Chains A and B, each alone.
Chain A
Amino acid sequence: MAEPAPAPTRSRRLLLRSRRVVAAAIGVTLAAGATACGPEGAADAGADAPPHKGGTLTVLNSEPQTDFDPARLYTSGGGKVPTLVFRTLTTRKRANGAAGTEAVPDLATDTGRPSRNATVWTYTLKNGLKFEDGTPITSADIKYGIERSFAAELSGGAPYLRDWLIGGEKYQGPYKDKSEDGLKSIETPDDKTLVFHLKKPEGEFPLLATQTQFAPVPRAKDTGTKYEEHPVSSGPYRVVKNTGDGEHLLLKRNPHWSETTDKERHAYPDTVDVRSGLDSAVINQRLATGSGPDAAAVTTDTNLGPAELARIAGDKELEKRVGTGHFGYTNYLAFNPKVKPFDKPEVRQAIAYAVNRTSVVNAAGGSSLAEPATTFLPDQKSFGYTGADPFPAGKTGNPEKAKELLKKAGYPHGLKITLTHSTAKNFATSPEVATAVQDALKKSGITVELNGLEDNDYKDTVHSLKDEPGLFLGGWGADWPSGGPFLAPIFDGRQIVKDAYNFNHAQLDDPAVNHEIDAINHLTDLHKAAARWGALDDRIGERALSVPLFHPVYKRLHGKAIRNVVISDWDGVLDISQVAVK
C-alpha cells in the first residue's frame, strides 16, 4: 500500500500499512539463499523454466491504484505497479533479499555524483531514452516532474524533497509559480544533466531518487490533476485503460521502451491487467485455486492471514507458491515520557522486561508472519541492525526483573496503566496484540487497561502532541532501506510536529542525538552510515523510549503459471517487473 494517508502532511508509511500486515520467518529465508543478481538466481518456485515472453499477467489487489500520478504516489511504489510505467533517476536493484536493498542507476548513468560535502548531487541521463510517444526524455522533463510534486493539488508524496531542496519549503509548484527557472535548486545546464542543491548534506540522496517524483513528465502533456488518467510512460508499459480511479488498470507494452537502457526491468508479459477492490479472502482463494486467468495472477498488496497459512501448511503444491518477503518494519510499544508513570525510566524498563514476545508474535499471526524484535531498527543489514537486546526478556518475559524495577520505581505492589490501540483487525496495532501484552504484563504485577480506538481516531490521537497517550501500540516502516528514514522522524528533536501528525512519540529532543543524525547524513558511503545508524539505535534503545515487539514478515501466494519470482528486502513484495507467465 503505497498511497498516501489522508490529510496530514507528514503521512508516512506508518499510516500506510494499517492493512493486514502479515509476515513469516521460514528458517533461513530466500534472502539468505538468493544470489546477488537478477531473475536467474531466483530461489523460488518455478525458477527451473526459462522466463517466457508474452502472455497476460493478472494482478489481484485489495487497494485500488488510486492517484496514478508520479507526483502523488508515496515513495517508489516498490515492486508494485507504478514501476512498470515510471522510470526514475535511480531505482532499486531487482534482486532477491538483501541484495535488493541497493539503489542502482535507472534513467541516469550512475547513482549520482556528490560534491561539496554531499549537498550537491549531479546526474547525467543515459542516451536513447524515450517517452511512450517517441519524444526523447530530457533533464527538463525530470525537473518538471519534481516541480509538479510541490503543487498543493498533487499532494501525496513523501516530504523529503520539500525538506531537502533549497527553497523547497516556499516553492508552490509550476502551476502557481510561473517563473522562468522554476525551482532554482534544480539546475539543468543541458538536456542530459541535472544538478540538485540541498540545504544540508544528504548522503542518502540516491535512495530518495528512486521515488516516482523523480520520473520525467513532459510539460506539454501535463493535464494537472487529470494527468493520473493517462500519465505519459517512460517505462516498459503504457496505460491503456484506467477505470474507477485505479480500480481496473490495463497496461500494454510501450514500444519506445528499450531493454538496452533498462537493466532492471524485464517486462516479460505483453499485458498487465490490474484488478483491485477485492476482498483479501477472495484474492487468496482465487490465487490458491488458480483457474483460468487466475493461474497467471499475483497480488502486490494482500498477505496470507494466520488461518490461511494454517490451511496451506499441509499442502505441498500451495506451499511452493508462497513467496516470503521482508520489509523494513517494526511494531513496538511507544512511551510518552511526559505522561506519568512513564516519566520514570524504571517503569519503562520494567515493561520492556515484562513483555512476552512469544505471545505477541502469535498475536501477530505466528512465527511465520512475525519475528521477535529487540531493536527499533528492522533486523536487516542495510539498516545497520546490531541485534542488541538492552532489556533481555527472553522468549516469554522476565517478570522477576520487572517486579524488581517496579519496586525501585516506587511501585512495590504493582501498577495500573492504560494501553491505547486501534480496533482495526490488522495484526499490528490490533486488539489481539494489545491483549497479548496485557496478559504478559499481568505476571509482573502490572494491570493493563485497554483503550481501543477506531482506527482513524487512534491515528489522530497517538500522533497528536496534545492528546498523545502514555503508552500505545505503534509501528514504523522504512521509506527506503536505511536507518535514516527510520530513526530521524522518530527521534530527531527538530522533527517534533506541533500542529500536524507528530511521530516523535517520546518527544525526544537530545542535542547529541540530533547532532549524530546530521553527522551520519554527511556520509555517502552507505555501509559506513548503516553501522553508525545501528550504533545510534543501540544508544537510543538503552533509554527504553519504546519496546520493540516484532518485525512483520510477508507471505503471499502467486498463481500456478507464475515464473521468476523476485522479492527484495526493500519492500518484501514480489517484483512485478520481473515476473513471467508460462
Chain B
Amino acid sequence: MSDTPDTGAWRRLRARPSAVVAAAVLAALALLALGAPLLTALEGQDPTTYHDQLVDSARGGVPYGSFGGIGADHWLGVEPGTGRDLFARLLYGARVSLSVALGATVVQVLLGVTIGLAAGLGGRLLDAVLSRFTDVLLALPMLVFAVALTAIVPAGFPRPLLLILVIGLLSWGGTSRIVRAQTLSLRSRDHVAAARLAGRTPVQIARRELLPALAAPVLTYAALLVPTNIVVEASLSFLGIGVTPPTSSWGQLLSTATTWFRADPLYVLLPSGCLLVTVLACTVLGDAVRTALDPRERSRLAVGTRRAAARPPKGATR
C-alpha cells in the first residue's frame, strides 16, 4: 500500500489553512513559554519582583501611565497593586497553564485508554464494574471534588504536578467511554476474531489489533481535552486552589484581574486573550485532526473532487 492512511491524513491536515494557522499559533505559544526566561531577561524583568513606585497607591494601586503602564521597561505594563511585570507573568503563566493542560491530558488518555480497553475486552463482570465506575466519575461534580482533593494534600507537594494529577485522575471518563465503545465494535471484526482464535492474549490483541484503530478517535479527543484542561486549571486557580503564589498561571492572573475590568482593562484582556487564542487554536486543530483521520471524510473529499472534475462547466449545459 503506497497511500497509507497516515500520510494521507497528514496531507489532508496540511491542506487546511485553518489547521496550519492553529498549529503555528500553538507552536508559537509553546516557544514563548519555553523561552520565558530568555525573553524576560531580554526585557530586563522577572515575574516576581515588586515595583511599588509604578502603581498609584492612593488610587487602589492602579498602574501609573496609560494602558496599565505599558512602556519600554514593561512591554505589557504592570500588575495593579504589586507593579510586577505583566509580560513576564504572562509568559511564566503560560508555562504552568500549558504544561498542566498537556500533562493532565496525557494522564487522562493513558487512564481512559487502559480502562476503556479493559472494559471492552474483559468479561461481562469487569465491564459492568468499570463502566459503572466511569459513570459515577462522569456524574461527579469535578470542581467540588478537585477542591476537596487539593485541600487534603500536604502543602509541600508541587502544585503543578498536583493539578495534573487531580485533573487527570478525575476526568478520564470521556476517553474511557469512547475507547470502550470503539473496542466493542472492533471486537467482532474478522481480524480480531482471527487473532483470538490464533490464541493471542487480550493484551496482545489490544496492542496489535485494536490500538492502531483507536489512534484516530483518541488523538482527536485528546486535542479537544487540552483546551478543556486549560480552562479547568484556570477555574481551580480562580478558586484559589491552583498554583501557589508567587507562581503565576493564566487562571491565577484572571482571578485577580476580574475586578479590574474597568479601572485597568488591559490587565483583564491579556490573560483572557491568551486563554481564548489557545483554546481556539486547540479546538480548530482538534477538529482538523478529526476530519483528516476520518476515513469517510477522505472518501467524501475524494468523491467530491472527482465529481467536480467530471461536471461540465455551468454555462455549457444551457
Q: Which residues of A contact B (CB under 8 A)?
A: 281, 305-311, 313, 356, 358-359, 361-363, 365-369, 396, 418, 423-425, 431-432, 434-436, 438-440, 449-452, 454, 457
When chains A and B are docked, how far (Å) is the Cα of A359 from the Cα of B80?
11
* B77 to A: closest C-beta gap in Å: 14
User: Which residues of the partner chain A approach B49 to less than 8 Å between Cβ atoms?
Assistant: 439
Question: Chain B nearest CB: distance from A237 CB in Å?
Answer: 35
**What 1/0 mask marks residues of chain B from 31 to 64 whose CB sits below 8 Å from any chain A CB?**
0000000000000000011101001111111100
| New A-B contacts (16) at CB < 8 Å, excluding given A362-B83, A368-B57 | A306-B259, A307-B60, A307-B263, A308-B263, A310-B263, A313-B60, A361-B57, A362-B55, A362-B81, A368-B59, A423-B241, A424-B240, A425-B240, A439-B49, A451-B155, A452-B155
How far, in Å, is B79 (CB) from chain A's closest CB? Answer: 10
Which residues of the other chain, B, contact A436 by a CB distance below 8 angstroms?
50, 82
Q: Shortest CB–CB separation between residue A53 and chain B, in angstroms?
A: 37
Q: How far is the CB of A167 from chain B (nearest CB, A)?
A: 44
B133 interface contact, C-beta 8 A: no
B58 x A439 contact (CB < 8 A): no
Does B264 have its Cβ within 8 Å of any Cβ on chain A?
yes
Q: In the complex, A457 Cα to B62 Cα: how many Å?
A: 32
Q: Which residue of B lies closest to A25 (CB)?
A: B58
* Interchain nearest-CB distance for B12 vs A (Å): 48
User: Is the CB of B245 closer than 8 A to any CB of chain A?
Assistant: yes
A452 touches B58 (CB 8 A): no
Residues of A within 8 Å of B83, CB to CB, are: 362
B260: interface (CB < 8 Å) = yes
Q: Which residue of A lies closest to B154 (CB)?
A: A451
Q: Which of B60, B245, B259, B262 has the most CB of A within 10 A?
A: B60
A309-B60 CB under 8 A given contacts A362-B55, A436-B82 = yes
- Please state if B246 and A439 are interface contacts (CB–CB under 8 Å): yes
* Contact (Cβ within 8 A) A431 B52: no
Contact partner of B52 (CB less than 8 A), chosen from A313, A358, A368, A435, is A358
Whether B244 is near chain A, meaning CB under 8 Å from some CB there, is yes
Chain A residues with Cβ under 8 A from B244's Cβ? Answer: 450, 452
**Do B52 and A359 have beta carbons less than 8 Å apart?**
yes
Q: Assess the A366–B155 pair: CB atoms within 8 A.
A: no
List A contacts of B139 (CB < 8 A).
none
Q: Are A311 and B262 in contact (CB under 8 A)?
A: yes
A307 touches B260 (CB 8 A): yes
Distance between B248 CB and nearest chain A CB, rounded to angstroms: 11
Interface flag for B72 (CB, 8 Å): no
Question: With A310-B62, A310-B80, A310-B263 in contact, is A362–B245 under 8 Å at CB?
Answer: no
Question: Is B125 close to A, CB under 8 A?
Answer: no
A311 to B60, CA, bound (A): 9
Interface centre among B49, B240, B256 (most CB of A within 10 A): B240
- Residue B144 lies at the interface, judged by CB distance under 8 Å to chain A: no
- The answer on a CB contact under 8 Å between A365 and B259 is no
**Residue on B nearest A369 in the bound complex, by CB:** B60
Residues of B within 8 A of A454 (CB): 151, 241
For the complex of A and B, the 10 pairs showing the least CB-CB separation, nearest first, are A306-B60, A310-B263, A309-B60, A310-B62, A367-B57, A307-B259, A310-B60, A423-B240, A366-B61, A366-B57
In the complex, are the beta carbons of A307 and B58 less than 8 A apart? no
A-B contact pairs, 12 of them (CB 8 A): A307-B62, A358-B57, A362-B81, A366-B56, A366-B58, A369-B60, A396-B52, A423-B241, A425-B240, A432-B245, A438-B246, A439-B48
Give the CA-CA distance A309 to B259 in the complex, in Å.
Answer: 11
Q: Are B245 and A359 in contact (CB under 8 A)?
A: no
- A539-B94 Cα distance, complex, nearest whole Å: 50
CB distance from B160 to the nearest CB of A (A): 15
Q: Is the CB of A450 within 8 A of B245?
A: yes
Contact A366 B60 (CB under 8 A): yes
Complex CA distance for A61 and B57, rounded to whole angstroms: 27
Do B263 and A311 touch across chains, with their CB atoms under 8 A apart? yes
- Segment 69-115 of B: residues with Cβ below 8 Å from A: 80-83
A362 contacts B240, C-beta separation under 8 Å: no
> Bound complex: CA of A449 vs CA of B59, how far in Å?
30
| Contact count A vs B, C-beta below 8 Å | 109
B residues near A (Cβ < 8 Å) are 48-50, 52, 55-62, 80-83, 151, 155, 240-241, 244-246, 256, 259-260, 262-264
Q: For A418, what are the chain B residues with a Cβ–Cβ distance below 8 Å?
A: 155
A306 nearest in chain B by CB position:
B60
- Distance in angstroms between the alpha carbons of A47 and B24 in the assembled complex: 64
The listed residue (B61, B240, B246) touching A306 by CB distance below 8 A is B61
Minimum Cβ distance to chain B for residue A162 (Å): 35
Instruction: Name the residue on A nearest B257 (C-beta).
Output: A307
- A87 and B260 alpha carbons, distance in the complex (Å): 42
Cα A396 to Cα B246 in complex, Å, equals 19
Q: Nearest CB to that of B61 among chain A residues?
A: A366
B-chain residues with CB within 8 Å of residue A431 when the two chains form the complex: 240, 245
Alpha-carbon distance A293/B217, docked complex (angstroms): 58
Interchain nearest-CB distance for A283 vs B (Å) = 14
Chain A residues, CB < 8 A from B52: 356, 358-359, 362, 396
> Do residues A365 and B61 form an inter-chain contact, with CB atoms below 8 A?
yes
Q: Which residues of A contact B246 (CB under 8 A)?
A: 435, 438-439
CA distance A368 to B61 in the complex (A): 9
Q: Chain B residues with Cβ under 8 A from A365's Cβ? A: 60-61, 81
Residues of A within 8 A of B81 (CB): 306, 362-363, 365-366, 432
CA gap between A514 and B139 in the complex, in Å? 58
Bound complex: CA A363 to CA B48 (Å): 14
Bound Cα distance from A449 to B61, whole angstroms: 25
Given contact pairs A359-B82, A362-B82, A454-B151, A367 touches B58 in the complex (Cβ within 8 A): yes
Q: A97 to chain B: closest CB distance in Å?
A: 20
Give Cα distance in the complex from A359 to B82, angstroms. 7
Inside 8 A of A307's CB, which chain B residues have their CB?
60, 62, 80, 259-260, 262-264
Nearest CB of A to B70, in Å: 17
Q: Which residues of A contact B56 (CB under 8 A)?
A: 310, 366
- Write out the residue numbers on chain A whose beta carbons fall within 8 Å of the beta carbon of B263: 307-308, 310-311
Please give, as numbers and ranges, the residues of chain B lying within 8 Å of A305 by CB-CB distance: 60, 259
User: Nearest Cβ distance between residue B31 and chain A, in whole angstroms?
Assistant: 29
Partner of B50, one of A309, A313, A359, A424: A359
> How far apart are the CA atoms of A16 and B244 in the complex, in Å?
26
Q: Bound complex: CA of A361 vs CA of B52, how far in Å?
A: 10
- Select from chain A the residue with minimum beta-carbon distance to B260: A307
CB <8 Å contact, B240 and A452: yes
User: What is the bound-complex CA distance between A451 and B49, given in angstroms?
Assistant: 20
Contact present for B59 and A310 (CB under 8 Å): yes
Please name the residue on chain A nearest to B239 by beta carbon. A423
Contact partner, A310, options B61, B245, B256, Cβ 8 Å = B61
Q: Name the one of B59, B155, B241, B256 contacting A313, with C-beta atoms under 8 angstroms.
A: B59
CA distance A1 to B61 in the complex (A): 26
Query: Inside 8 A of B151's CB, which chain A residues have their CB?
Result: 454, 457
Nearest chain-A residue to B252 (Cβ)?
A: A431
C-alpha spacing A313/B246, complex, angstroms: 29
Q: Which B residues are CB-close (under 8 A) to A425?
A: 240
Q: Are A439 and B50 in contact (CB under 8 A)?
A: yes
| Nearest opposing residue in chain B for A361, CB measure | B57
* A365 nearest in chain B by CB position: B60
CB distance from B23 to the nearest CB of A (A): 36
B48 closest partner in A (C-beta): A439
Residues of the A chain whose Cβ atoms lie less than 8 Å from the Cβ of B260: 307, 310
Give the residues in chain B near A432, CB-CB below 8 Å.
81-82, 245, 256
Q: Which residues of A contact B55 (CB under 8 A)?
A: 362, 366
- Closest CB-CB distance, A251 to chain B, in whole Å? 32
Which chain A residue shows the least CB distance to B259? A307
| Residues in chain B near residue A366, CB distance under 8 A | 55-61, 81
Q: Output the least CB separation between B134 and chain A (Å).
A: 30
Instruction: With CB as the reference atom, state the residue of chain B lying closest to A304.
Output: B60
Nearest CB of B to A433, in Å: 10
Residues of B within 8 Å of A367, CB to CB, are: 57-58
